[in-house]
Amino acid sequence: MCETGDTFLLLLLLPSVLSLVLFLILLRRTRPRLNLPPGKSGWPFLGETIGYLKPYSATSLGDFMQHHVSRYGKIYRSNLFGERTIVSADAGLNRFILQNEGKLFECSYPRSIGGILGKWSMLVLVGDMHRDMRSISLNFMSHARLRTHLMKEVERHTLFVLDSWEEDTVFSAQDEAKKFTFNLMAKHIMSMDPGEEETEQLKKEYVTFMKGVVSAPLNLPGTAYRKALQSRSTILKFIEGKMEERKGKMEEEGGGEEKEQRMDDDLMGWVLKHSNLSTEQILDLILSLLFAGHETSSVAIALSIFFLQACPKAVQQLREEHIEIKKKKEKLELDWDDYKKMEFTQCVINETLRLGNVVRFLHRKALKDVRYKGYDIPSGWKVLPVISAVHLDPSVYDQSHLFNPWRWQQQNSGTCGSSSAGCGYSSMWSNNFMPFGGGPRLCAGSELAKLEMAVFIHHLVLNFHWELAEDDNAFAFPFVDFPKGLPIRVRRYPNPL
C-alpha cells in the first residue's frame, strides 16, 4: 500500500521536478557566472573578522594579509564585519575605488562608527551633505590659514609640550604627542587653552571616548563602547555649552570689523557665522574633527620619534638641516619660508607615513556591479582598499620593511640599516603613496598634519637627544598604538640654539 502510494506520488511529481531541474540549468546558462576574486567566507556571520583584526607589527602586513595575498593574490574575497567583502592590496584597484567615490563606490563605515561619531560626522556622510561639511573643513585648513594662523599655533603648542620635558625621567612619547595634537585642535576648533581646567577635563573625557571608538561595538553595561557613548554625550554637552556661550558673546558684541575677525579665529565661530548648519550638525562636525585631527597626527609623530631613534644617521642629517634654518633666521618664530626649507624633513615625514601606516585601510561599498581586471565586484558588497599593503609591497618600495628616508630624495645618498641604496621612482609618489587616502575624500587635514610633524621635528632635533627607555613597538590593532606608550628618556643639548 505504502510503496505503491509513494511510487504514485513520485510519478505525479516527476514532470514538475524535471522541469525545475531544466529551468535551473537554463538559468545557469543564461545568467553569466560572476568571476568573483578567490577567497573564502570563514565562519557564519563572524567570517574571517577575528583573523583580520588580530594585532600585528605596524611595519608589516600582518599574518592574515600575508597569507591571503600569497594564497589568493592582491584582490581576494572574504567575509568581514558581517558583510561579504572584497579586500584589495592592489595599488591600481585602490586608486580606482577612491577616484570613483560617489559613482561606483561609496564610503561605508560600520554602523558602530556612526553611532559614536554621530550621524553627521564626516566619516559617515555621503553626497551633498558630505560635500558641504568637507568644504567647511577645507576652508578652515586652507593654505592661507596654514601660513598665517596655524603655523604660529603649531609652533606654540610644540614648545608648550617640549618645554615641559625633563631630563633623567622616563615618560611616554606617545602621550606627549597626543597632548600636543589635542591642545592644538582644541585651540583651533574652540579657542581652548592648554593647561586650563576645562581643557584638561575635556581631554580626560575624550580618552574614554576614544577607547570606545576602537573597541568592539557592544552596547552592554560596562563595555568600553557603552562608556564611550556616555562620554560622547558628556562631550557634546560640553561643546554645546561652549557654543551657547559663544552665541551670547556674538549677540552682545554685535558687528564691528575687528570683532568679526576674531569670531573667525576658530572653527566654532566660523561655522556659527558663515554656515546654516543645525546645532546637532555642528556638534558632530566638531567632535569628528577633534577625532580625525588628533588621533592620527599624534600617532604619526610618535612613529617618527620611534623610527628616528633607531636611525641616528637620519637624526644627524635632520639636525644639520634645522641648525642651518635656525642660523639664518632673524626672527625667533618659524615662518613659511623656513618650512619650505625643510626638505630632508619632508623625506622623513613621507617615510614615516609609508612605513608606519597610521590609517591602514578604508571602508567602502560597491554602488554598482563593477568589473576590474577580469574580476567582478557585485553591487552592495563591502570593499576594503588596504592602502598600507601598497606601502609595504617590496616590488613597489625596495626593501620596504626598512626606514629609509633617503628613498624620497631624487639622488640617493645613503640608507639606514641596509647596504643597498634606496630608489627614487618619480611616478611612484602620486600612484602608490596614499597615506591620506585619495579622490573626493582625500584627508582634509593632510597639509596641517605634515606641518605639525615638521615643526615638532624641528624643535625636537634642535633641543633633544632621545632614546627608548624600554623596548616598545608599534602595533596595528588595526589602529596604530604603542602598547607601552613609547617610553623615552631625553637629554637636552647643552647649547640650545
* Interface with ligand NAG (CB under 6 A), residue from 142, 215, 279, 346: 346
Helical residues (DSSP H) of 89-219, grouped into ranges: 91-99, 111-117, 127-140, 143-145, 151-162, 173-190, 197-213
The binder of ligand HEM chosen from 136, 308, 443, 454 (CB under 6 A) = 443
Nearer CB in complex with ligand HEM: 403/415: 403
Encode burial over 125-161: b for 16+ CB neighbours within 10 A, e otherwise: beeeebeebbebbebbbeeebbeebbbebbbebbbbb
**Which residue of 209, 306, 408, 456 would you call a contact of ligand NAG, by CB under 6 A?**
408
Q: Minimum Å distance from CB 21 to ligand HEM?
A: 47
Rounded to whole angstroms, the Cα distance separating 476 from 387 reads 14
What track of x and - describes contact with ligand HEM for positions 90 through 129 (by CB under 6 A)? -----------------x--------------x-------
Residue 134 or 326 with smaller CB distance to ligand HEM? 134
Contact assessment for residue 466 and residue 487, using Cβ atoms and an 8 Å cutoff: no
Residue 283 DSSP SS3: helix
Residue 400 binding partner per list ligand HEM, ligand NAG, none, with a CB distance cut-off of 5 to 8 Å that depends on partner kind: none
Exposed (0-12), middle (13-18) or buried (19+): which is 53, by Cβ within 10 Å? middle
All three cell numbers of 91: 595599488
C-alpha Rg value of the chain to the nearest Å:
26
Q: What is the DSSP letter of 379?
A: T
Q: How far is the CB of 187 from ligand HEM (least distance, A)?
A: 12
Q: Which stretch binds ligand HEM (CB under 6 A): 77-85, 204-212, 218-226, 285-293?
A: 285-293
| Stretch 350-389 residues interacting with ligand NAG (CB under 6 A) | 350
402 torsion bin: left (phi>0), alpha (psi -120 to 50), beta (else): beta
- From 6-14, 235-243, 295-303, 467-475, give the range in contact with ligand HEM by CB under 6 A: 295-303
Chain residues 303-342 in contact with ligand NAG, contact rule CB under 6 A: none
Measured from the Cβ of residue 200, the count of other Cβ atoms closer than 10 Å reads 12
Decide if residue 384 touches ligand HEM (CB under 6 A): no
Candidates 214-222, 251-259, 323-331, 443-451: pick the segment binding ligand HEM (CB under 6 A). Answer: 443-451
The one among 293, 405, 422, 478 contacting ligand HEM by CB under 6 A: 293
Q: Are 483 and 300 in contact (CB under 8 A)?
A: no
**Contact predicate 267/188, CB 8 Å:** yes
Q: Which residues bind ligand NAG (CB under 6 A)?
A: 276-277, 346-347, 350, 408, 429, 433
Q: Which residues bind ligand HEM (CB under 6 A)?
A: 107, 122, 134, 137, 289, 292-293, 296-297, 300, 358-359, 362, 435-437, 441, 443-445, 448-449
